Amino acid sequence: MYSVALIERQNVARARFHNMKNIIISIQGGRPLAGRVAVSGAKNAALPELAAVCLSPGPLAFSNLPLVEDIKVMVAALREIGAEGELDGPLGEGRVEARTDGLQGHTIRVAMPALRSPRVSRQTTQTTRASILLLGPLLARCGEARVSMPGGCPIGERKIDFHLQGLELMGAEIRSEEDYLTARCRRLRGIEYEFPGKSVTGTENLLMAAALAEGTTVLRNCALEPEVDDLAALLRKMGAAISSPEAGTFIIHGRTSLHGADHAIIPDRIEAGTYLIAGCLAGNDIIVEGVEPAHLGCLLDILAGMGADVRIGAGEFQARGGATLAPAAVVTEPYPGFPTDLQAQLTTLLTQAEGVSRVRETIFNDRFRHVGELNRLGADIEVRGDEALIRGRARLHGAVIKTTDLRASAALVLGGLVATGETRIENSYQLFRGYENMPEKLQKLGAAITITQE
């Protein structure tokens, strides 16, 4: 089954932190950042694409895989179901792609010749959305699935009714029993379905289910995120018949089987935006490389409007701090609007603008948990309903703070970079769910950042 190398590497990777829960990140703020930082592959593309492994005997070979906790959880879930594979370790082991920053991309070769079981345990997937992404592919492959109710960041209601509605219309019988969803169907059949609202993983789940369904499926009002398009590109490489006559619509002619493929995962636009904001905050002169500027149009427009010193090159951004920043009024929206996953990080930048900014969060109903912690650093932010008022420019100072979710963690790290003195961020394991080697990447840029465990 799973190669020993894979298990050992996973254990090595995980052994770095024997208990992921009590990680503390300490930052001595005020250090100027300079140099190059390379962006890893997109976690939110890799998650559905690893789930697609269930759709065929394979093998699938991915490059530019981000080795973050959420990906390790998905790999462990695939192992439970019966996947075999080889995960190249970091730095110099196995088939890796050398990258200019000295950090290596990762590749994984994984196959599912036969399913051992269509059941994924809760302890495997409780922390991420990984489990819900397995529902469609497992139903499509073997007509049965048992996955835990999805976990993921506590950022508000994480409904899955579109996923379930679409799969039931395709013929699945789905029941929720305690913490699990169990689903059965003889064979999924094609449907016409218009999403009541934009859902990234909802679109991805039904795309994968439709790839092996009987007949034709038409999905409308689909999410437009680049990660959805990257999944569709992978499925086409696997032999799926998917067309998109207009943005937001997919037409899928179901196949009886799919085959393996090689795929390079797209760059992580949220990681790229996070380092771009870090450069605007504390950059002497940083280059964020390996990016796709077209994926960050909205952020670039906002930064330009603020007067931030950002230059766009071929596949890279250049950012300098020190500019006098104007305030902004921002609303999070589905792609191509301003991404909710950069809302917390931008809020940190807006504490340094000269004036009052407004940030309205329209995607999730509890995604301002970073505000209280930023205020402990000396920010002046007030939340009124779905809107945050940010009064700048605030002089940030070090403090002991605590993070609650993945993107809030990044926002607090950015705050620590500009706060005078030491900032200690507790519960920081969240950061490692979605950012590959962030402390190391920031250290290479000159940040005084260390990780400890208590």
The catalytic residues are 153
Write each residue from 238 to 267 as x if it is in contact with ligand EPZ (CB under 6 A), else as -, in one continuous string.
------------------------------
Say whether residue 199 binds ligand EPZ (CB under 6 A): yes
Instruction: Give the nearer residue to ligand EPZ in terms of CB position, either 205 or 318.
Output: 205
Q: Which of 42, 46, 75, 162 binds ligand EPZ (CB under 6 A)?
A: 162
Q: Which of 15, 157, 247, 384 binds ligand EPZ (CB under 6 A)?
A: 157
> Which one of the spans 33-41, 97-105, 150-158, 207-215 is the region binding ligand EPZ (CB under 6 A)?
150-158
Say whether residue 369 binds ligand EPZ (CB under 6 A): no
Residue 169 DSSP class: H
Say whether residue 338 binds ligand EPZ (CB under 6 A): no
Say whether residue 280 binds ligand EPZ (CB under 6 A): no
Shortest spacing between CB 128 and ligand EPZ, in angstroms:
7
Say whether residue 153 binds ligand EPZ (CB under 6 A): yes
What is the rounded CA–CA span in Å between residue 408 and residue 404? 7
Which residues partner with 286 through β-bridges?
35, 319
Shortest spacing between CB 393 and ligand EPZ, in angstroms:
27
> Which one of the spans 200-208, 209-217, 249-257, 413-421 is the region binding ligand EPZ (CB under 6 A)?
200-208
Say whether residue 363 binds ligand EPZ (CB under 6 A): yes
Q: Which of 97, 116, 173, 197 binds ligand EPZ (CB under 6 A)?
A: 197
Strands 422-426 and 192-194: unpaired
What is the rounded CA–CA span in Å between residue 65 and residue 94? 13
In the three-class reduction of DSSP (H, G, I as helix; E, B as strand; rest coil), residue 143 is classed as coil
- The answer to whether 434 touches 8, Cβ cutoff 8 Å, is no
What is the rounded CA–CA span in Å between residue 358 and residue 346? 11
* Total of chain residues touching ligand EPZ, rule CB under 6 A: 24
> Which one of the spans 106-114, 197-205, 210-218, 298-306 is the region binding ligand EPZ (CB under 6 A)?
197-205
Determine the residue type at 376.
R
Strands 23-28 and 448-453: antiparallel
95-125: b or e for each residue (b if 16 or more CB lie within 10 Å)?
Answer: ebeeeebebbbbbbbbbbeeeeebbbbeebb
What is the rounded CA–CA span in Å between residue 303 and residue 330? 11
Write each residue from 378 to 417 as x if it is in contact with ligand EPZ (CB under 6 A), else as -, in one continuous string.
----------------------------xx----------
Say whether residue 226 binds ligand EPZ (CB under 6 A): no
Say whether residue 163 binds ligand EPZ (CB under 6 A): yes
Shortest spacing between CB 324 and ligand EPZ, in angstroms:
30
Residues 6+ apart with CB under 8 A from 320: 279, 280, 283, 284, 285, 286, 309
Determine the residue type at 175.
R
Say whether residue 161 binds ligand EPZ (CB under 6 A): yes
Residues 6+ apart with CB under 8 A from 274: 342, 345, 410, 414, 435
Say whether residue 220 binds ligand EPZ (CB under 6 A): no
Say whether residue 340 binds ligand EPZ (CB under 6 A): yes
- Alpha carbon separation from 437 to 103, 221, 271, 412 (Å, rounded): 9, 36, 11, 16
Strand (E) or helix (H) holding 311: strand 309-313
Burial of residue 378 (CB within 10 Å: 0-12, 13-18, 19+) is middle
Q: By CB under 6 A, name the binding residues for ligand EPZ.
A: 44, 47, 129, 153, 157-163, 197, 199-202, 223, 340-341, 363-364, 406-407, 434
